[in-house]
Structure 1
């Protein structure tokens, strides 16, 4: 057990991880200390300083005869150099791409490997929303993109390794395979591994959000990069607001996808009409996908509140039911809020001209059309 500054007892085998050196130091340590097998599945792996650091660790582990299986998304890691892949394979690393953008028979688009997970020796795992790239690490002059992960130690890593194994080796039975996904860590703390892969009938993360929002009693805090929720999430938030639940949304003030940010801004008026508090993070790019409800339920992972995550991508979140963990996390998010710019009906009216409203509307319409196209494409591929 460890004790944080607020005197809450948090299980040592369940640790909140922040983007920056915190995440990459843990990732490197996990690789260097692995003895038997490593599974890594990433959306984005860049060949920059941070990426080269992890490549070196993987090569060294392979030379120690550790079995290594790396699965990268065919679109997110499209620019990963072929020569680095050859070097990894020569060192003994098994590496392949999920849904290459072009294949013999079809054009892959919507169904992406968006989860970010590494498991070693079925004993330790990192699950979250952080990709391998300099922008998630930051530098002396630039803050890392704001994001989170969870480090899991112990028995819970075993089914994670099996899941990664089944996906890497394209096991056709993993759709219906039952694994143990819920673990009680201590008396007041339980953890579940949740997946979203709509084409395979898995909607666990989305359903978890909706259930928790609907049953909220006091407060909801959501960190939402690329925040364009579907109608079920919107209705759940509206109902929670009517039930006098305090709702706080931490959204992107800066974004790597300006069109998506504009589309989110189009929703501001509606969200404010539901008495939802809006906060924009401007210190760095916001990439986090987390939530805390009533200081008891938390979710952390790769799942964005939009249709791409709901109906297109393979996603993974860790759901934590724990007053100790969630209260500490909630206090951290309130510290983040204290550094944000609050959007009120008055400030929104002041900063939004007729032209801005029009641009936001067009951005919203275009984004929704793009989402429809790329989430429809997997159906064509899947059923052909």
Structure 2
């Protein structure tokens, strides 16, 4: 008789080490942030609390009415002597205004583009900074999928993009800083010494403690922590798997684990967007719909706005939120950052969001999908699916992989 699978919440032993061979820190607090006014206010509030340093990394940043107060807060803190680092991806944010760059320069903000197309490091051309991070001092951080731009978080928009981030405070901040430090050592070495010297462990005392673990994906440095952790979490699932994702193009290994989970009776629900800011990715993801439905996996399509969320809830206690998309771009091209949380209370809040999304989505039924998918449409989905993966393959040719020494967390 096969041994029963252990629930995810019991995957650690007396020493606090997971059977997955990765540590969770236990002294943390976390707040779920949904796109909109709360997310914007949380970013600005965090900046105003900073006393020593601010790290801000993002893929897309637009200068508009939503971000003006945030920029003002960063500049004001820099004038007060706080070390401020402002890094945006050169592809996601191709051009900041001359006015903003001059204001940041005059105030002493250390700003930079990550991997500019015509920079000195041609071998990094295909490598993109996709993580979203706002970290202050050694205490708090916001990370997830939310970009700071009007179309993402405008509280006055009737149909804002659907996305989530998490505000985390506690011991895990120390590890997040150590994980992103390699970014500065390699790309911004003039600031690496300050960052290394400023990383310090803090003592926290919370009434309600929460287990947290930060994970990165960086193909160039042989790091696939987010991807591997997803595989293991799905492999150890017992009751349910809920994933909301945009640009969902999983590889064979992830599909195999989903298939096995479904066979052993795990209820699997996948939520995608009916509309997308990248139509090619939308059509590509639909190529696998028949496969999901044939294996008993439920599919929902959110049609109220663009879905940009990258979150998962497994067995009602394990939550993952971050920038990682389940496709080859995130796996092989981009620098990604996710946070995993094991906490019943936080998981319940995430479950409420999943219920809200499903109630406002359309479920894709197997019979209806079979009726409207002609062989011509299937061929079109296959072509877009293949083309999307081909683009990723070409981009990886511009990345030089380098092995790094493993550091203890």
TM-score, structure 2 normalization: 0.84
Distance 1:343 1:349, change over 3 A: same
Alpha-carbon distance between aligned partners in 1 of 2:243 and 2:381, rounded to the nearest angstrom? 22
> 2:140–2:170: 8 Å Cα contact kept in structure 1?
yes
| Secondary structure of 1:103 counterpart | coil
Unmatched 5+ stretches in structure 1: 1-10
**Equivalent residue number for residue 97 of structure 1:** 113
Per the alignment, residue 288 of structure 1 pairs with 309
Shift of residue 331, structure 1, vs aligned partner: 2.7
Instruction: Report the CA distance shift for 1:195/1:105 in structure 2 as closer, same or farther (over 3 A).
Output: closer
Contact 1:260–1:367 (CA under 8 A) maintained in structure 2: yes
1:28 pairs, out of 44, 67, 73, with 44
The structure 2 residue matched to 1:328, chosen from 328, 349, 369, is: 349
User: Is residue 308–residue 375 contact of structure 1 (8 Å, CA) maintained in 2?
Assistant: no
Runs of 4+ in 1 over 3 A off after TM superposition: 161-166, 171-174, 183-189
Match of 1:204 in 2: 225
**How far 1:345 moved relative to its partner?**
1.2
Map of 2:184 onto structure 1? 168
Conserved? CA contact 1:219–1:247, under 8 Å: yes
Contact kept? 2:66, 2:154, Cα under 8 Å: no
Contact 1:69–1:168 (Cα < 8 Å) also in 2: no
Q: Distance in 1 between matches of 2:34 and 2:397?
A: 34
Find the aligned partners of 1:349 and 1:112 in 2 and give their Cα distance.
38
Number of equivalences:
368
Cα distance in 1, alignment partners of residues 118 and 124 from structure 2: 6
User: Once the 2 structures are TM-superposed, how far is the Cα of residue 81 of structure 1 from its aligned partner?
Assistant: 2.2
Identify the range of structure 1 (203-212 vs 104-113) with the bigger mean alpha-carbon deviation: 104-113
Equivalent of 1:340 in 361, 364, 371: 361
SS at match of 1:49: coil
Q: What CA distance in whole angstroms lies between the structure 1 residues aligned with 2:139 and 2:62?
A: 27
- The alpha carbon displacement at 1:254 in A equals 0.9
Q: Distance in 1 between matches of 2:348 and 2:339?
A: 16
Residue 243 (structure 2) pairs with residue 228 (structure 1): no
Say which SS state the counterpart of residue 398 (structure 2) adopts. helix
Q: Which residue of 2 aligns with 1:306?
A: 327
1:355 maps to 2:371: no
Matched ranges for 1:233-312 at <5 A: 233-312=254-333
Higher mean C-alpha deviation, range 157-166 or range 114-123:
157-166
2:239, 2:315 within 8 Å by CA — same for their partners in 1? yes
Contact 2:28 2:206 in 1 (8 A): no
Provide the secondary structure at the position in 2 that maps to 1:292: strand
In structure 2, what is the equivalent of residue 4 of structure 1? none
Question: What's the Cα RMSD here?
Answer: 2.6
TM-score (norm 1): 0.89
Match of residue 338 from structure 2: 317
2:77 is equivalent to residue 61 of structure 1 = yes
Q: 1:191–1:319: 8 Å Cα contact kept in structure 2?
A: yes
- What aligned pairs does 1:7-156 form with structure 2 within 5 A after superposition? 13-104=29-120, 106=122, 108-156=124-172
Unaligned runs of 5+ in 2: 1-26, 404-409
